[in-house]
Amino acid sequence: MDAVSLNEAWVNLLSLAPEIGQAGLETLIMLSIGLFSALVLGGPLGILLYLSQPGQMFANRTLCGVLGWFVNLVRSFPFIILLVTLGPLTRVLIGSTIGPVAASVSLSFAAIPYFARLVEQSLREIPRGVIEAAEAMGASPLRIIVSVLLNEARSGLISALTILTISFLSYSSVAGVVGGGGIGDLAIRYGYYRFQTEVMVAMVLLLVVIVQVIQFAGNRLAARLDKR
Amino acid sequence: MIHLNQVEKRFQHPDGGWFSAVQPTSLSIRAGEIFGLIGFSGAGKSTLLRLINLLERPDAGAVLVDGQDLTALTSRQLRDARQNIGMVFQQFNLMANRTVAENIAFPLEVAGWSKHDIRVRVAECLDVVHLSDRAEHYPAQLSGGQKQRVGIARALASRPKVILADEPTSALDPRTTQSILDCLSEINQRFGVTVVIVTHEMGVIRSICHRAALLDKGEVVEIMDIANGQVDARSALAVSLLEAA
Ligand SMILES: Nc1ncnc2c1ncn2[C@@H]1O[C@H](COP(=O)(O)OP(=O)(O)OP(=O)(O)O)[C@@H](O)[C@H]1O
Ligand SMILES: [Mg+2]
């Protein structure tokens, strides 16, 4: 690129600043709703998945089998297929299939079982004896879940959330292409369809920075919480 | 204090067959004594101990602790009853993300004590096990012996009448072992707590127990009296264990 076209690229990017800001906001909306659903629904699902396993507090072969099967089923769908097939459901729930909120439905759908598995894996790290000690002291199931399971696994849970956030940043750009908007969508629309390479490069760089920041923050927090 | 009445515990093998880890067994443990459970690996010592606080539910028989039949309780009542029975583990089983003081506070939180009472009681228990200077440490920063003393302080915190200890010294070196045994012995004398201790070492029995049951293949072979470090044993198995020690 010579000086003139480099200058043009900057001017173009600056003129797109409102769109870029809007795209960032849309990505933030998709990510927030997806992660919120994952925490609120996927978290308890993961706890239940763990506790229903043989030898655990609510050991139940049927429940464990059904939950595991459901989680695997949803997780085996390629995200793009989930996105398309959930269109009708999204229309019922949101009234539209366009926009970041609509895209959040399928994002949430994928994030819930994903996070549930990550939570289950983190909880498995806790030695059985520690849970048993709490049982021997007469702790209630709720107290064991909150004070023992979640507290002992807290650093692993933060790492799980970090992984989830980064994966879903990338999922959200796929969702954006099907009408959700966001940073990935902007990169495709301007950078790919309109041959404005500088927009594509800028958006990818932006994503690179965001991922690095999330991972760094996640690592720091996980390390600080880990007293093992 | 503890009466096991024809308790039995069976486990299912992976191949579907059943076997009795504890054969129908009756045992009475007096208030204020240190009672040992000794036997070879797989004899059923841990299972028998865990029947006392119903960590294992017996397939038959009754478990009476402090006059209460634990097998007849609802799960809520059982949780209350368990606050009266402390437990100490071979692998300590402390919560890694809680400080020493917070670990000892846990059973008191469970029992619904006030923050102020918890602070006072935790300090007392730390003093009993000589760990007052480690209150704000995390378990990972402690030696094995120190961890076990935290385990004992935790078991003691809610002023239980009974403390169950499953091989509390098996992960420790001989000198540390003695300090832990002394600690349990002191708690027994000072607070009148009944202690049931599982071990595979005659040395432990000799050192602190008043009486001990010898287990083999899920059955009590003999109940031995211990006086002045002398074990009064008759069965061939007990005699051979004594000679080996
Ligand atoms: N949850 C379980 N499921 C199946 N079998 C078990 C279970 N717990 C214990 N057993 C079996 O019951 C028998 C007695 O076990 P227990 O742990 O009570 O022995 P122990 O005397 O404490 O031995 P050790 O000195 O090795 O700890 C063993 O054969 C063991 O394999
Ligand atoms: Mg054992």
pLDDT digits (tens, 9 = 90+) for B80-90: 999 999 999 99
Distance CA B162, CA B15 (A): 37
Contact (CB<8Å) A139/B79: yes
Write the CATH number for A71: 1.10.3720.10
- pLDDT tens digits along A135-168: 999 999 999 999 999 999 999 999 999 999 999 9
Query: Cβ atoms within 10 A of the Cβ of B57, count?
Result: 13
User: With 70 as the cut, is the pLDDT of residue A94 above it?
Assistant: yes
Which of B53, B98, B140 has its CB closest to that of A136?
B53
| Alpha carbon A24 to its chain's center | 16
Specify the pLDDT at position A82. Answer: 87
Provide the percentage of residues in chain B whose pLDDT is more than 90. 80
Task: From chain B, pick out residues whose CB is under 8 angstroms from the CB of A143.
Answer: 109-110
> If pLDDT is split at 50, 70 and 90, which confidence band does B59 have?
very high
Assigned token pair, B139: 């378990």
Distance CA B29, CA B65 (A): 10
Specify the pLDDT at position A7. Answer: 83
Give yes or no for a contact between A190 and A199, defined as CB atoms under 8 angstroms apart.
Answer: yes
Assigned token pair, A5: 């076209």
User: With 80 as the cut, is the pLDDT of residue B189 above it?
Assistant: yes
* B43 ligand 1 Cβ < 6 A: yes
How far away, in angstroms, is A184 Cα from ligand 2 center? 58
Q: What is the mean pLDDT of chain B?
A: 93
B96 contact partners, CB below 8 Å, separation of at least 6 = A130, A152, A227, A228, B138, B139, B140
Which of A132, A138, A151 has its CB closest to that of B97?
A151
User: With 80 as the cut, is the pLDDT of residue A179 above it?
Assistant: no
Structural domain spans, chain B: 2-244
Specify the pLDDT at position B245. Answer: 66
Domain residues for the domain of A191 are 3-225
Assigned token pair, B208: 């602190």
Assigned token pair, B34: 């240190």
User: With 90 as the cut, is the pLDDT of residue A175 above it?
Assistant: no
Specify the pLDDT at position B79. Answer: 95
CATH topology of domain B2-244: Rossmann fold (3.40.50)
Phi, psi of B89 (to 5 degrees): -115, 155
Task: From chain A, pick out residues whose CB is under 8 angstroms from the CB of B140.
Answer: 227-228
Q: What is the mean pLDDT of chain A?
A: 91
User: With 60 as the cut, is the pLDDT of residue A1 above it?
Assistant: no
Contact (CB<8Å) B53/A137: no
User: With 60 as the cut, is the pLDDT of residue B110 above it?
Assistant: yes
Average pLDDT over residues B33-49: 94
Looking at per-residue confidence, does A208 or B235 come out higher? A208
- What is the model's pTM? 0.90
Contact (CB<8Å) B106/A225: no
How far away, in angstroms, is B51 Cα from ligand 2 center? 13
* Closest-CA distance of chain A to residue B118, Å: 15
Give yes or no for a contact between A198 and A11, defined as CB atoms under 8 angstroms apart.
Answer: no
* B46 ligand 1 Cβ < 6 A: yes
Contact (CB<8Å) A147/B96: no
| Alpha carbon B42 to its chain's center | 17
* DSSP secondary structure, B96-126, as one string: TTS-HHHHHHHHHHHTT--HHHHHHHHHHHH
Specify the pLDDT at position A3. Answer: 65
Specify the pLDDT at position A2. Answer: 66
How far away, in angstroms, is B46 Cα from ligand 2 center? 4
User: With 90 as the cut, is the pLDDT of residue A101 above it?
Assistant: no
Residue with tokens 């299972």: B47
Looking at per-residue confidence, does A9 or B199 come out higher? B199
Which three-class secondary structure state does DSSP give residue A12? helix
Residue with tokens 């027994």: B188
Average pLDDT over residues B181-201: 95
Assigned token pair, A178: 């099907």
* DSSP secondary structure, A25-91, as one string: HHHHHHHHHHHHHIIIIIHHHHHHHHHTSTTSTT--HHHHHHHHHHHHHHHHS-HHHHHHHTHHHHH
Angle at A10 between CA A6 and CA A16, to 5 degrees: 140
How far away, in angstroms, is B141 Cα from ligand 2 center? 27
Total tally of structural domains belonging to chain A: 1
* H helix intervals, B34-74: 45-52
Specify the pLDDT at position A177. Answer: 74
